[in-house]
Amino acid sequence: MTKKYDVLIIGSGVIGTGIARELSRYKLNVAVLEKEPDVGWGTTKANSGIVHAGYDATPGTVKASFSAAGNKKYDRWTEPLSVPFKRVGSFVSTEDLGQINELHRLREQGEENGVEELEIIEGTEEIKELEPNISDAVEAVLHAPTAGVVAPYKLTVALYENARDNGVEFFFNSRVEGIDLAQVSESNGRFTVKASDHDLSSDFVVNAAGIFSGKIANMVGDDSFSINPARGEYHLLDHELQGYVKKINFPLPSKDSKGILVTPAAEGSIIFGPNHQPLEEPSLATTKAGLDEVFNGALNLFPGIDTGKIVTNFAGLRAKAGTDDFVIGESDVAPGFINVGGIQSPGLTAAPAIAGHVIGLLEEKGLSVNEDPGFDPTREPIPKFSEMTPEEIDVYADDLSAAKEIVCRCEEVTRAEIEEAIDRGADTLDGIKFRTRSRMGNCQGGFCTPRLVEILSEKLGVSPKDVTKKGDDSYLLAEETKRVEQYE
Ligand SMILES: Cc1cc2nc3c(=O)[nH]c(=O)nc-3n(C[C@H](O)[C@H](O)[C@H](O)COP(=O)(O)OP(=O)(O)OC[C@H]3O[C@@H](n4cnc5c(N)ncnc54)[C@H](O)[C@@H]3O)c2cc1C
């Protein structure tokens, strides 16, 4: 028999997982279906990690209604979940006082959107007091002190762990391939969601499938929107440069994007990017031309930065709907089917406000929402043993040898942290990376990957040959070598 839920959510990016976590406050049966082996592996893992102040969105758009509102809710999300979030503030810079009107326009727009504390700072000396290494050519900035930086994957993992601990079921490697509008009965909800591994039934479906949200809507006959992907490429710099860039630094925005920024990341590195490349088909491949564009854009703002500290590059895909706005609401053709699609930037910022809005929408459409007195809003982070004193390690570690064995030297990640990440649900190298930062540092896994494979294989009870980087057939080891056979 098909299991029946109150709400099924398709997609476990920051949007789907955030909605799941907020629904877990209530006495409801909720499940999330995700085609990847883990949470947050769509657009959520590859963006700038900025919680925008909210001045960029055009007033009256759906984006504008959720941007500043999302920013204001961030502390309420990140504090109980122990997620790194810092309100470092943002600058929009101009080198030409002739363009200062554009900064004034952004400030007024921000005020209309409900952004507080916006100020325009003129004069190199005043600007350099807040951002000492910015280009001498910068003449004026719009300063938004409420903007912040967050680790988007850590946030999504924390939302997932908390939602799961409060009763939400997550089905990974579970690709939604079709949705039937069902005959409602005792055992059947309005929708039968057909996933690659099983069918599930529900009265309400939330479509949070990112760049595939248009295709998921098509499955219930809703062709009201489609998604065009637009790629953004990045350079990531080593955390050795921590402190060199203090604010989130934007140039003046263009029609299509906020421009190539230079920002500290929540966990210490520095990010350059993104550019804006509309694509016919989704592709995460980085390009030489695109990365050069990002490099040059960043050097305009910080000409003295040590570009020898670039450790890697990556790309993310914006889910742009035809209206260039978020698509949030019940489908006109399928009552109970809620689209939360086209969530391009600033979707990470807007996520807490969107989650709250979607709960209200579900209630308005007939979902019974009763608080669960057992709901626990807190979640503990994985202890970071390399930052503890020996005395603290003695108190917090169950296994002293694991807490003292550094596996990833660049990011100083211990075996105890890796084992805990696996206990909490990571079953791939990337799953461990996004939870602990191992393989995110200078050597990009050159040293620690063999040990990580060994630990994963031991903890999961599988052959090292079955360990993958990111699920499917992303195996690392093809054959046992002669040398291994000799020494076994
Ligand atoms: C270059 C770039 C920079 C950005 N910078 C910022 C920023 O600094 N600040 C900010 O606020 N926002 C930013 N954003 C926007 C932000 O990243 C997104 O709005 C947000 O991550 C969208 O989350 P999501 O959950 O909607 O989508 P996703 O994270 O893509 O999640 C959708 C999920 O659905 C799953 N899925 C898809 N199809 C199926 C299916 N058939 N069955 C099951 N599962 C399925 C996917 O695997 C995926 O996990 C940026 C975006 C980009 C691309």
Phi then psi dihedrals of residue 148, to 5 deg: -145, 175
- The token pair that represents 221 in the structure block: 């006959």
Query: What are the tens digits of pLDDT across the range 362-374?
Result: 999 999 999 999 9
> Which residues does a 6 A CB cutoff place in the pocket of ligand 1?
10-16, 33-36, 41-44, 47-50, 52, 175-176, 208-212, 216, 232, 274, 316-318, 343-349
User: In which band, very low, low, confident or very high, does the pLDDT at 386 lie, cut at 50, 70 and 90?
Assistant: confident
Atom of ligand 1 nearest to the CA of 317: 53
The dihedral sign for the CA sequence 47, 272, 118, 230: negative
Query: What are the tens digits of pLDDT across the range 92-119?
Result: 999 988 899 999 999 999 999 999 999 9
Q: 314-334: b or e for each residue (b if 16 or more CB lie within 10 Å)?
A: bbbbbbbbeeebbbbebbeeb
Architecture of domain 85-148+229-317: 2-Layer Sandwich (3.30)
Short-list 380, 447, 460, CA closest to 419: 460
The dihedral sign for the CA sequence 236, 310, 277, 473: negative
Query: What are the tens digits of pLDDT across the range 13-49?
Result: 999 999 999 999 999 999 999 999 999 999 999 999 9
- The token pair that represents 301 in the structure block: 């703002």
Q: What is the Cα–Cα distance from 406 to 8, expressed in whole angstroms?
A: 40
- Predicted local distance difference test score (pLDDT) of residue 258: 85
Task: Tell how far the Cα of 328 is from the centroid of ligand 1, in angstroms.
Answer: 15
Which residues on adjacent β-strands are paired with residue 4? 201
Task: Tell how far the Cα of 434 is from the centroid of ligand 1, in angstroms.
Answer: 15
The dihedral sign for the CA sequence 95, 99, 100, 105: negative
Which residue's C-alpha comes closest to atom 27 of ligand 1? 210
The dihedral sign for the CA sequence 71, 328, 166, 413: negative
**Mean pLDDT, residues 458-487 taken together:** 85
CATH number of the structural domain 385-487 = 1.10.10.1100
The CA–CA distances, whole Å, from 385 to 35, 233, 349, 422 equal 33, 33, 30, 16
Report the 10 Å Cβ neighbour count for 313.
Answer: 17
Short-list 208, 205, 212, 260, CA closest to 30: 205
The dihedral sign for the CA sequence 344, 473, 438, 287: negative
Which residue's C-alpha comes closest to atom 26 of ligand 1? 210
Comparing 69-83, 143-157, 189-203, which segment has the lowest mean pLDDT? Answer: 189-203
Query: For the chain, what's the residue count?
Result: 488
Contact 316, 46 (CB under 8 A): yes
User: Quick one: which H or E segment has residue 181?
Assistant: strand 176-181
* 39 secondary structure, DSSP code: T
Task: Tell how far the Cα of 40 is from the centroid of ligand 1, in angstroms.
Answer: 8
What fold, for 1-84+149-226+322-381?
FAD/NAD(P)-binding domain (3.50.50)
What mean pLDDT value characterizes the chain?
95
Identity at 262, one-letter amino acid code: V
Q: What is the Cα–Cα distance from 258 to 235, expressed in whole angstroms?
A: 17
Identity at 135, one-letter amino acid code: S
Contact 50, 27 (CB under 8 A): no
Q: What is the Cα–Cα distance from 325 to 8, expressed in whole angstroms?
A: 24
- Predicted local distance difference test score (pLDDT) of residue 484: 55
Q: Where are the domains of the chain?
A: 1-84+149-226+322-381, 85-148+229-317, 385-487
**Mean pLDDT, residues 267-282 taken together:** 93
Write out the DSSP string of 54-75: S-SSPTTSHHHHHHHHHHHHHH
What's the pTM?
0.96
Establish whether 357 is a catalytic residue: no
Instruction: Please compute Rg for the chain using Cα positions.
Output: 23
- Predicted local distance difference test score (pLDDT) of residue 189: 81
**Mean pLDDT, residues 383-410 taken together:** 92
For residue 130, the SS3 value is helix
Place of tokens 């949070």: 208
375: CB partners within 8 A, 6+ apart: 24, 25, 26, 166
